[in-house]
Amino acid sequence: MNNIWHKPYTLEEVNSIFAKYMTGYLDIQATEIGTDLLVATMPVNDKTKQPFGILHGGASVVLAESVGSVASNMIIDTDKYMGVGLDINANHVKSASDGLVTATCTPLHLGATTHVWDIKIKNGINQLVCVSRLTVAIIPKR
| 138 close to 83: Cβ distance less than 8 angstroms | yes
In sequence order, the 6+-apart residues with CB closer than 8 A to the CB of 90 are 57, 60, 61, 64, 130, 131, 132
| 107 close to 117: Cβ distance less than 8 angstroms | yes
Identified catalytic residue from 12, 13, 32, 65? 65
Please name the amino acid found at residue 31.
Answer: T
Catalytic residue check, 65: yes
CA-to-CA dists, residue 46 to 56, 67, 101, 123, 133, angstroms: 10, 21, 14, 16, 26
**Catalytic annotation, residues:** 65
